[in-house]
Amino acid sequence: MMTLMQARERAAALDALAPARMSLEEAIGSVLLDPVLALQDIPHVSTSAMDGWALAAESLPFPDGDSGWALRPESAHSPATRPTPLRPGEATEVLTGSPVPAGTHAVLRSEHGVIDGDRLRALRTSPDTAAQRNVRQAGAECRAEDELVPAGVVLTPARAAVAAVAGHDYLTVIRRPRVQLVLTGAEVTTSGTPAPGQVRDVFGLALPQMLKELGAASVASQRLGDDPETLARTLRQISAAGTTDLIISSGGTAHSRADALRPALDMLGAQLEVDSVDMRPGHPVLLAQLPREEGPLYLLGLPGNPLAGFSALTALGVPLLRALRGIPAEARTPTLRRTAGAQLPGARRGVRLLPVRRGPQGVLPAGHSRAHMMRGLADSDALAIVPEGGLAQGDPVVCLTVPGQREEGLEWDG
């Protein structure tokens, strides 16, 4: 039986999926294989920062002794319109974001200009006649071939937008894993109040969103009973289809006669990468590699008890998904360092993954933390890794963030 650290490191050491060329929309959430370089200067032309008029450097004297510019009769209707070069003493209308004509000295904003027939004057108090006032210079953000996004980072929506501004339509990224859920258990029901001998499904409800948060490209799901041969046949079919990178199963990971997963894996000749972990709850978790010609197909077997299953997903699923996505090695086993705000009880054997919540002096037990329970996890902010013997108030404690558990917009900073 592996220690928790050994199991997490083993999951984190798996190879990333193959790279692929994807559209910007498809690539969001994936890790970049190559850096994103600017294909041209950004902005690629000088543009106006205001609605108003582009001014030539030289103004013209007016009969009344004032000075200004000869206003072209053309009107600006779209930033896509590129005006012809300005001649000395000329001005032409421009819009925010539109290219300024060659020969532009500055842009006079609309509220600072006075039109008199075909003449344009600037208010005496306006600063807009200073050189390059309200002009966004070509190349101000970057020059062609500048690196905008480094390789090895996740392509966020903002980074994809930068790539689009730079002129890219496609990028080479490491594929995000396609996940197939295989949910076992004849006693599992998906709606209503469970009858005696039945339990409500929790994994089919929560896992898809958790896995999408962890970077899965897609999550499909199917349900089976507890027959090892049926399970083996189903796993073989999933493998042969070639459309799945990771199988996550729920239930049947222990060694009793009612547990179907291990016999099914034996039938397939699967190789166990992790065969149980010295942690409570969740110790029957396993990680296996199914034989497949076109590359490995991994299976993460989660125990069927709710807290045990989600603890196993947090402990092994997080580094596993990060490894398959090609997240840099140093970021594949993330933890939080916190302080125990009260005594945190340990398990009789191995480490304990204890649901905890924030308190004024540190993390506190969330309660209801037995393997078959859900309430403690629902009330928690994280899982504390508690060694045998427990932790006293004030002791440092390492925590794992449960996928999907952090409230939207809430950073756990204490």
CATH number of the domain that 85 lies in? 2.170.190.11
Q: Are residues 25 and 53 in the same domain?
A: no
Torsion of CA 311, 314, 319, 325, to 10 degrees: 130
Domains contained in the chain, number = 4
Give 284's pLDDT tier (boundaries 50, 70, 90).
very high
More confident residue, 66 or 344: 344
User: Does position 11 have pLDDT exceeding 70, yes or no?
Assistant: yes
More confident residue, 84 or 66: 84
Residues 114, 61, single domain; the answer is yes
Average pLDDT over residues 263-268: 95
- Rounded to an integer, the average pLDDT of 292-296 is 85
> DSSP characters for 118-165?
TEEEE-TT--TTSTTTTEE-TTSSB-TT-EEE-TTSB--HHHHHHHHH
Residue 226 — left, alpha, or beta (φ > 0 → left; ψ -120 to 50 → alpha)? alpha
Residue 405 resides in a domain = no
**What pLDDT does 407 receive?**
56
Please report, for the domain that includes residue 360, its CATH number: 2.40.340.10
Angle made by CA atoms 49, 53, 57, in degrees to the nearest 5:
100
Whether 205 and 283 map to the same domain: the answer is: yes
**3-state SS record for 80-123:** CCCCCCCCCCEEEEECCCCECCCCEEEEEEHHHEEEECCEEEEC
* The pLDDT of residue 413 is above 80: no
Q: Are residues 145 and 84 in the same domain?
A: no
Which residue range is the domain that position 61 belongs to? 47-136
| pLDDT of amino acid 410 | 42
- Residues 219 and 149 grouped into a single domain: no
From 120-124, 186-190, 214-218, 313-317, the region with the lowest mean pLDDT: 186-190
pLDDT at 135: 97
Q: Are residues 215 and 314 both part of a single domain? A: yes
**The CATH number of the domain where 157 resides is what?**
3.90.105.10
Residue 408, pLDDT above cutoff 80 = no
Q: Does residue 325 share a domain with residue 394?
A: no
Q: Is the pLDDT of residue 388 over 90?
A: yes
Give me 68's structure tokens: 């200004």
Q: What pLDDT is recorded for position 396? A: 97
Average pLDDT along the chain? 93
E strand map for 251-372: 271-275, 279-280, 286-290, 297-302, 336-339, 351-359, 362-365
The mean per-residue pLDDT over the stretch 372-400 comes to 96
**Residue 214: predicted pLDDT:** 96
**Within a domain: residue 407?**
no
Predicted confidence at residue 105, as pLDDT, reads: 97
Per-residue pLDDT tens over the stretch 39-59: 999 999 999 999 999 999 989
pLDDT digits (tens, 9 = 90+) for 338-377: 999 999 999 988 999 999 999 999 999 999 999 999 999 9
Given this model, what pLDDT does residue 382 score?
Answer: 95
The pLDDT confidence band at residue 257, using thresholds 50, 70 and 90, is confident
More confident residue, 78 or 139: 139
Does one domain contain both 94 and 153? no
Q: Is the pLDDT of residue 124 over 80?
A: yes
